[in-house]
Amino acid sequence: MILVTGGAGFIGSNFVLDWLAAGNEPIVNLDVLTYAGNLQNLEAIAGDGRHIFVRGDICDGDLIATLLREHPIRAIVHFAAESHVDRSIHGPEDFIQTNIVGTFRLLEAARGHWAALSSDAKSAFRFLHVSTDEVYGSLSPSDPPFAETNQYQPNSPYSASKAAADHLVRSYHHTYGLPVLTTNCSNNYGPFHFPEKLIPLCIHNALAGKPLPIYGDGMQIRDWLYVKDHTAAVRRVLEAGTPGETYNIGGWNEKPNIDVVKTLCRILDEEHPKADGTSYADQITFVKDRPGHDRRYAIDARKIEAALGWKPVETFETGIRKTVRWYLDHQEWVANVASGGYRDWINTHYGATST
């Protein structure tokens, strides 16, 4: 079986669901259930014996060691992270603890587990670290997309903490021989995306008749990757990636934020028209830009396509339409998250203990 960290979050829960849909290998899912972790994301596999959920912190090295001792773990897929740039600006310490210290604790436990395996099991073991394109800094309009060889130039506490984690992972391969893999992905979107991020926030606000807040001039460019394409790429890297290598995962979909929001509004106008006949685009509001806001990210995903045969299935147009449709069909989930009600659900149905 495999150990997944952060498997109740946005990308992690999509990975868990897609993994179990694609095969029968069981998962131990470790998540501390912070504000971004939501067990309701995993309701579709409630009662599935292939999914073992453990509420716990990746900073708890003893817990991780216990899980590795009690279960036949042949790979670790490490999604768990504090990931919201705005939160890192206002409260960076949580990012240092989770993204750096937590990754260190996980690596240490993995190193001990790996060292005790038989020769064949050691060769087959993998530690896959999921990171971000933000470690590379910001691109000018004329710069080529980020390649795996780009220099690290993180510009926020979030991206700096992820860069530090990347370096730790790399060092454990070169110093100890731990068979690690690192992926750096572009901006994800899709089902179960926490509603403080741009796309779900704007969908939620549009339907609620609230302003659609756009930082600065809205011309910050991101490379958008549908989350199901990302989970497929991670599965492929875990299956066939070369230990010690880094693989950039992108959607080949560079879009300015303002164009993303206008596209959302157009699709909402078609799928869920307003009673008064006006466009949701009338709710767009420009707000003060955040400090140190990077202007452009873009991923060169040629390496993973050439080496492993992966490329995204969804275009931005197909992926964003699926995303809007999902949020329209799951407004109860969105309302529960926006109100904080899912936290009450977790406390009532799960409490503070591990299972």
Which residues lie below 8 Å from residue 211, measured CB to CB, with a gap of 6+? 205, 283, 284, 285
Q: Looking at 57, 82, 158, 172, which residue is catalytic? A: 158
Q: For residue 292, which phi and psi values (nearest 5 degrees)?
A: 65, 30
Q: Find tokens 């950039």 and name the residue.
A: 248
Q: Is 176 among the residues known to form the active site? A: no
Q: Which of 31, 57, 133, 223 is catalytic?
A: 133
3-state secondary structure string, the chain?
A: CEEEECCCCHHHHHHHHHHHHHCCCCEEEEECCCCCCCHHHHHHHCCCCCEEEEECCCCCHHHHHHHHHHCCCCEEEECCCCCCHHHHHHCCHHHHHHHHHHHHHHHHHHHHHHHCCCHHHHHHCEEEEEEEHHHHCCCCCCCCCECCCCCCCCCCHHHHHHHHHHHHHHHHHHHHCCCEEEEEECEEECCCCCCCCHHHHHHHHHHHCCCEEEECCCCCEEEEEEHHHHHHHHHHHHHHCCCCCEEEECCCCEEEHHHHHHHHHHHHHHHCCCCCCCCHHHHEEEECCCCCCCCECCECCHHHHHHHCCCCCCCHHHHHHHHHHHHHHCHHHHHHHHHCHHHHHHHHHCCCCCC
Catalytic residue among 134, 166, 300, 314, which?
134
Give the strand pairing for 75-78 and 51-55: unpaired
Residue 3, CA atoms < 13 Å, CB-side half-sphere: 32
Does 314 participate in catalysis according to the annotation? no
Placement of tokens 């809205």 in the chain: 218
| Nearest C-alpha neighbor of 249 from the set 229, 279, 277 | 229
- Answer yes or no: 158 catalytic: yes
What residues act catalytically?
Answer: 133-134, 158
